[in-house]
């Protein structure tokens, strides 16, 4: 009899723990893939959706050596919310540092805090291309190497970005609720109190 009284609270606690663990699983947010002209992937980074009060870490390629060419230009683009073209979700920038025999390219990708529009740097060109995020992996090479694309030439790097991955997976763009852990703690406390009352000796 005593065992059957214990199984119920333990089962409830296990269910609450499982629900809390599932809710706390990270949600994929962004991905950047950079491939060189030989087809070798030199960067493939995925970021998870950050908490509401903290920005997501940016993604930087580090300096990449590229053939010196007048077609290597500094370029930028902005990803916007799929339902609001004025809501800045992400931006990417290509910077070029010229050398005598080659150029150094640096890619930087920044994403917004959950639920908040992303601030654009003060020197970010107002006429930068804007794309609505779809959750799918997209080739943005032509946006970052416009002169190469216009000349019909292959750029020194192929760049692909993916934003709002959770929307592509299940059609939603909601991060886990922080209250889930609080609910788990309250549920565990309730189960503990219930078990304590059952073990407590009654009046003789």
pLDDT digits (tens, 9 = 90+) for 53-85: 777 788 999 999 999 999 999 999 999 998 899
How confident is the model over 130-156, as pLDDT tens digits?
999 988 999 999 999 999 999 999 999
- Asked if the model's pLDDT at residue 184 lies above 50, the reply is no
pLDDT at 201: 60
Quickly state the pLDDT bin for 189 (edges 50, 70, 90): low
pLDDT above 50 (res 180): no
**Residue of higher predicted confidence among 141 and 28:** 141
Q: What angle do CA 47, 49, 51 make, to 5 degrees?
A: 130
Confidence of residue 170 (pLDDT cuts 50, 70, 90): very low
User: Residue 138's closest CA among 171, 92, 172?
Assistant: 92
The tens digit of pLDDT for each residue in 79-132 reads: 999 889 999 999 999 999 999 899 999 999 998 887 788 888 888 898 999 999
C-alpha to C-alpha distances, 13 to 23, 120, 189, 194, 197, nearest whole angstrom: 15, 46, 9, 11, 16
The span from the CA of 169 to the CA of 49, in Å, is 14
* Weakest-pLDDT range from 32-41, 118-127, 171-180: 171-180
* Burial class, 122, CB count within 10 angstroms (exposed 0-12 / middle 13-18 / buried 19+): exposed
Question: Residue 64: helix, strand or coil by DSSP?
Answer: strand
């Amino acid at each position: 009899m005593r065992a059957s009284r214990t199984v119920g609270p333990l089962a409830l606690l296990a269910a609450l723990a499982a629900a809390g663990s599932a809710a706390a699983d990270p949600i994929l947010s962004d991905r950047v893939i950079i491939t060189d002209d030989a087809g070798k992937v030199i960067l493939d980074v995925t970021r998870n959706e950050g908490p509401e009060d903290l920005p997501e870490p940016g993604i930087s390629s580090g300096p990449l050596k590229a053939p010196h060419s007048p077609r290597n230009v500094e370029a930028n683009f902005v990803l916007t919310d799929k339902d609001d073209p004025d809501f800045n979700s992400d931006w990417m920038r290509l910077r070029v540092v010229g050398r005598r025999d080659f150029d150094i390219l640096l890619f930087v990708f920044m994403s917004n805090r959950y639920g908040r529009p992303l601030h654009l740097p003060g020197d970010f060109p107002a006429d930068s291309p804007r794309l609505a995020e779809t959750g799918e992996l997209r080739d943005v090479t032509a946006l970052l190497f416009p002169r190469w694309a216009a000349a019909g030439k292959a750029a020194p790097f192929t760049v692909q970005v993916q934003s709002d991955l959770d929307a592509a997976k299940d059609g939603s763009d909601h991060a886990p609720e922080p209250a889930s852990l609080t609910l788990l703690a309250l549920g565990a406390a309730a189960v503990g109190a219930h078990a304590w009352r059952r073990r407590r000796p009654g009046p003789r």
